[in-house]
């Protein structure tokens, strides 16, 4: 898993057949034994020669650096469909509006942001004069991910109670909350996580329907205990001479009392 970075990252791809070419990128590039995704993020396993795919955050910068030996080929990169990525495009099939660079690929070039919107993008090599090398691996799959970890633009990521993370096969970054927080932005807390109901009482969380009202809980108490103060710590009745065997008894309300045990004693009474 990767964590969202607060500042854009600069990525550079070496446009070369001599390094980072793989045919099974889940195992060779990412060292993952199996695919767990839904197939909608663009990272479905494609067993064909290609440059190791990239996963970017929205706003990251991407540069491509070509080998000097390619400069005489009139090489360029084309934005193609998944089918075009698999089959490799012929120069005659590529339109000008698909080309990433006005003057072709020579040296170091930045892929401008218009080609790096949210989603999966397929870039393939096309050459005017030299051999077509897409089929040997000069093609690149780039997935750009947004995040869904802030309710408002000035909010703390995941409300400060989790991390903004993404699996390789996820389409975006989402909050992974620390216990006992939950919710899309880790803004909710399970009031029962601290086990507030004493004497084997059952705790039921109550979710508030209003943002300005905190969640709460309710205790369902066993027989003879009361939830008058929400936590089943009081017993029905009034203090009697031996109400508390090894401790002191105190009346809390007209019909309830509480035992405070001596240091060496435990239990309800």
What residues have CB less than 8 Å from 158, skipping those under 6 apart?
149, 164, 175, 176, 177, 185, 186
Rounded to an integer, the average pLDDT of 56-83 is: 90
Exposure class string for 86-123: b at 16+ Cβ within 10 A, else e = eebbeeeebeeebbbbeebbbeebebeeeebeeebbbb
Reported pTM: 0.73
Choice between 54 and 131, residue whose per-residue pLDDT is larger:
54
CA distance 192 to 134: 58
User: Which domains does the chain show, CATH number per domain?
Assistant: 2-32+45-145 (2.60.40.420), 150-189 (2.10.25.10)
pLDDT at 185 over 70: yes
> How many angstroms separate the Cα of 7 from the Cα of each of 1, 4, 61, 117, 159?
18, 9, 11, 17, 19
Q: What is the mean pLDDT of the chain?
A: 84
């Amino acid at each position: 898993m990767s964590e969202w970075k607060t500042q854009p990252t600069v990525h550079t791809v070496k446009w070369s057949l001599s390094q980072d070419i793989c045919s099974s990128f889940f195992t060779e590039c990412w060292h993952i034994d199996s695919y767990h995704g839904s197939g909608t993020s663009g990272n479905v396993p494609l067993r064909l020669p290609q440059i190791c795919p990239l996963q970017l955050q929205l706003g990251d910068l991407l540069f491509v650096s070509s080998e000097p030996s390619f400069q005489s080929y009139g090489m360029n990169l084309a934005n193609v469909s998944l089918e075009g990525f698999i089959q490799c495009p012929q120069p005659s099939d590529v339109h000008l509006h698909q080309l990433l660079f006005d003057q072709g690929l020579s040296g170091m070039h930045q892929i401008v942001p218009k080609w790096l919107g949210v989603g999966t993008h397929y870039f393939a090599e096309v050459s005017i004069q030299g051999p077509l090398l897409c089929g040997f691996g000069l093609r690149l799959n780039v997935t750009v991910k947004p995040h869904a970890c802030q309710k408002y633009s000035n909010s703390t990521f995941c409300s400060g109670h989790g991390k903004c993370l993404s699996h390789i096969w996820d389409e975006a970054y989402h909050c992974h909350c620390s216990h006992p927080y939950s919710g899309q932005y880790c803004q909710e807390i399970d009031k029962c996580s601290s086990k507030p109901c004493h004497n084997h009482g059952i705790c039921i969380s109550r979710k508030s329907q209003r943002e300005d009202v905190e969640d709460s809980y309710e205790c369902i108490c066993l027989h003879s205990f009361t939830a008058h103060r929400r936590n089943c710590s009081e017993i029905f009745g009034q203090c009697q001479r031996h109400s508390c065997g090894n401790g002191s008894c105190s009346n809390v309300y007209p019909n309830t009392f509480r035992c405070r045990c001596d240091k060496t004693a435990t239990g309800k009474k």
